[in-house]
Structure 1
Amino acid sequence: MDLSDVALFRTIASVGSLSAAARQMGTTPMLVSRRLAGLEAELGARLFHRTTRSLSLTPEGEAFLPHAVTLIEARDAALDSISSGGSGLSGVLKVTSPNVIGHSIVVPVVAELIADNPALRVDLTLSDGVIDIATAGLDVAVRVAVMKPSDMIATRVADNPFTLCASPGYVARFGEPTTTEDLAAHRCIKLHAMDTWPFTRDGELDRVRIGGPLSASTVDAVRSACIAGVGIAMLTYWDVNKQIASGELRRIVLNDVKPLEVGIWAVFPTRRQMPARVRAFIDALRGRLLAGTDAESRTT
């Protein structure tokens, strides 16, 4: 079995069409179709339902997909074990991350890795949505979440607590809440699908319903509106730490609750051997986040 055809099958399953797979792999739809047909003939099973307008996995394709992922991971781990010793990292590191942390943290991390490892390539997807990393063929997903290690194959990279903040102009105009009861009367900026804000009260989760003149779909938009004085925002530490340090925003602390502790996690598709490039990325990410935390602690 040609593992490049197995990798092609996984790519088709990830992107959802032969033409998209062809564009991603730099070839033609005709050649992709021919190679897929050869793999199906070798397996003795049809892997996709194909029409002129749609493509979907057959039951046999669904069953084969996790095995295909395992085969490609084993190949990559084997190549990595003999190619990275002494010559730097190599291969393609496929990462997904939320937009804000992706721009401010992940991009500088991968830029340094690329500079130090000429044979390394990085495929970075920035999205605030949750991507199925196994199906998409990704090595690691950086996620901001409340998560236990047992929930997924994941490792905690850094703390990232929720943080209430407002612009100095907003506070001068409307004042500053000191309790959740005060907060309910203030103008708040909401992320879509987040009508309540999470806190901990006496060790228990407490969701506080808020309202305000603006809701937005991205962290960038909420942060920009907060800087402009529209209202109070709840974002995470790494979304607003630079703006708080510069004075564009100020942190708001409530007396009756504590911010919910959230983490930055690295999530993996498998428990199998982790390639050296993934280990190096996680170490570099953790190091950069730790350095940023230490820098702030020296200035506060």
Structure 2
Amino acid sequence: MNCLSSTCVPLSKYIFMWTSSVQLKEIFDMSRQGLNSIPEETARMKVLKSLEKGHIISCLVIVNQASSHLIYLSLPLLMTIFGNSRYLPTIPGEILGFSGAEESPYFEIAFALIFVATAFSAINQTGYIVLFVTLLSHELGHIYAMTETLNQIQRTMYDDTITKVDKEKSVDENLRFYVKHHQFFMRYHAKIRGLYRIIFGFHFLLMTIVLVTTLQTLNAWNLSNTILTGVTGVLPLFIYCFGGELLFSAEGEMSKAAYSCGWELMEAKQAKIVSFVSALSQRPLYLTAADVFIMNRDTFGRVVQVVYKIYAVFN
């Protein structure tokens, strides 16, 4: 069950990347339109900074995936070349690998198959995670841009050097942009949420199975196999939940900015618009697994607790 689940995860990522090209093209077109629709330079810089951070994280993901998979393949190969026995990369449940010294039959064929499978898994997992980080960076960038617009309204309202007429004009422009861009952003978020809803639900189930079965086989496997499989199962789930938590936190900051933008100093018409803006910012933004589980840190913590309870009951 563990090996089957671990195999289905990278295969499902490949199917997801292959079948979602049309949806992804539409989402990236919306991203480009959303960036071009931001008139304020400071707000646009917020989006660009968010994308730069996403680019840095993507580079770290690529380095991490490349180095871990190279080590996974190169160490047994070096041990085979310079040792007296033939080693395969770690196979769960077997003594062949880093901790074993028994020679594997059909070594060349087995190593070639493992090498191809590992490269396939590494490429798909890296591309999948980088895509998720990129789309999340776009979402966070748009939220930061809207939050910066609300902060700009606050600075304008509390600046005594600006005349009343200029304040009204500036506030009207910023509020108009915020309302329109928030409507765009909600459509954009719905696209991304719908794109990942099924694949998150599928991975959520499989990764839970991997974690449970990994702990159940703790006494049968050696420690290196258990750690390798456990980390492989935890990492994607952690990334999903951490990304969802960042989205939720950014939405909370935007809600606070709407409440403290200086609405008490505005004209009645503008204050009503701010009231509408505050209502819009109260709508929760989250990613879900099959519309059942919300991907955030609470969900990650509950999964870890449930997995440990299952392990404790059976042991």
| Greater per-residue strand proportion | 1
- TM band (smaller chain): under 0.3
| Greater per-residue helix proportion | 2
Larger radius of gyration: 2
